[in-house]
């Protein structure tokens, strides 16, 4: 598992993600951040998935990701055999579910980009047989299938052209051009040889020219080595300055410290660490567990449909009507109808009805 996480971090730190993670920062990502990271990788494979998951419902996000993973033919690891477990892990951002998905996606990103691109055109839309009885629908479906086959053939030809390189005619033209250039260079060399042979001591001059070329190449190499050594010296000086500053800080700390102050500082650190271990961290852990319990409870419950909402609205209207009747009876019993405070009573009725409706919806 550590090798898997290490590979994920290495891939995320490269193009096109440039996340600048290390093993600690990656492992400390919260579930929402991990889920957004998975969505970013899916968005790199298919641009339609470049969204902010905070603007989506969890069920909608899980459905969208599962759809794309199904198109990409992802299979969960052997430890996750139930699709509902995998779906629930996506909803809550579970590390055991998301880490294998990230590893699988990042190992074959280019291949999956091509698969996602082809899926936009090659996933066939199934038309029910009863609709195909209509001639117009049948003709449109036939055109759709013909266009899909034409796309397959064109894409296959395009891939073949990409892998085949240059055409035969282009290669022949390049060969002809290189042969002509070769002939011109040979003729030029012959002319230069004839000119040089008329000069006295031309062999000695040629030898000196070769030595000059060698020395120039050596000079360039030495200049490059000099620049590299300057860079190394600069970095070494920077490290030396940092170490000297650390040494000064430590020396000041040692000079200014006394046994009493050191003991007091240690006692404060012990108290602070004890507070963290005995109070703060357990309280935060209990809060996280409580939040996780409610989230799992929400996820496990079935989603509310339109009929459920209509039923709740009907109950709310009935309860509001009963409340209004009770309030009117009470007002008529204890106060006269023509009271000058009737306007305030109506406002009180509306406020009470609103409060009761809100409580019913929250339950």
The per-residue pLDDT for range 126-143, each reduced to its tens digit, is: 777 777 777 888 888 888
Q: How many helices (H) and strands (E) does the chain have?
A: 14, 0
- Shared domain for 141 and 191, answered yes or no, is no
Domain of residue 52 covers 2-122
- Shared domain for 7 and 118, answered yes or no, is yes
* The predicted structure's pLDDT at residue 236: 92
* The predicted structure's pLDDT at residue 301: 74
- Shared domain for 137 and 106, answered yes or no, is no
- Shared domain for 49 and 147, answered yes or no, is no
pTM score, two decimals? Answer: 0.42
- Shared domain for 93 and 141, answered yes or no, is no
Number of folded domains that form the chain: 4
CB 16 within 8 Å of CB 44: yes
Has residue 216 got a pLDDT over 80?
yes
- Shared domain for 117 and 193, answered yes or no, is no
The pLDDT confidence band at residue 338, using thresholds 50, 70 and 90, is very low
CB 320 within 8 Å of CB 356: yes
Q: How far apart are CA 221 and CA 315, in angstroms?
A: 87
Q: How far apart are CA 299 and CA 59, in angstroms?
A: 9
- Shared domain for 102 and 147, answered yes or no, is no
Eight-state DSSP code of residue 280: I
């Amino acid at each position: 598992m550590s090798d898997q996480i290490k590979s994920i971090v290495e891939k995320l730190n490269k193009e096109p993600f440039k996340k600048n993670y290390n093993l600690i920062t990656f492992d400390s990502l919260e579930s929402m951040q991990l889920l957004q990271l998975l969505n970013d990788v899916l968005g790199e494979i298919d641009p339609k998935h470049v969204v902010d998951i905070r603007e989506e419902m969890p069920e909608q996000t899980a459905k969208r990701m599962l759809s794309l993973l199904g198109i990409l033919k992802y299979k969960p690891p052997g430890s996750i055999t139930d699709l509902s477990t995998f779906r629930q892990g996506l909803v809550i951002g579970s590390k055991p579910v998301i880490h294998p998905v990230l590893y699988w996606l990042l190992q074959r990103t280019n291949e999956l980009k091509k698969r996602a691109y082809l899926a936009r055109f090659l996933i066939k839309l199934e038309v029910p047989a009863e609709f195909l009885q209509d001639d117009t629908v049948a003709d449109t479906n036939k055109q759709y299938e013909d266009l899909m086959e034409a796309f397959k053939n064109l894409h296959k030809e395009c891939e073949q052209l990409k892998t085949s390189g240059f055409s035969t005619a282009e290669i022949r033209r390049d060969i002809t051009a290189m042969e002509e250039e070769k002939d011109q260079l040979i003729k030029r060399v012959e002319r230069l040889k004839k000119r040089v042979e008329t000069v006295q001591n031309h062999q000695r001059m040629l030898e000196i020219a070769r030595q000059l070329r060698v020395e120039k190449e050596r000079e360039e190499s030495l200049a490059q080595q000099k620049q590299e050594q300057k860079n190394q010296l600069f970095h070494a000086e920077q490290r030396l300055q940092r170490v000297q500053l650390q040494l000064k800080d430590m020396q000041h700390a040692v000079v200014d410290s006394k046994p009493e102050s050191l003991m007091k500082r240690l006692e404060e650190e012990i108290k602070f660490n004890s507070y963290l271990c005995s109070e703060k961290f357990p309280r935060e852990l209990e809060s996280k567990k409580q939040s996780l319990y409610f989230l799992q409870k929400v996820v496990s419950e079935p989603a509310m449909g339109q009929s459920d909402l209509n039923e709740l609205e009907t109950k709310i209207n009935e309860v509001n009507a009963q409340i209004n009747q009770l309030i009117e009876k009470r007002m008529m019993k204890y106060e006269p109808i023509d009271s000058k405070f009737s306007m305030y009573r109506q406002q009180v009725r509306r406020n009470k009805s609103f409060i009761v409706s809100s409580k019913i919806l929250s339950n």
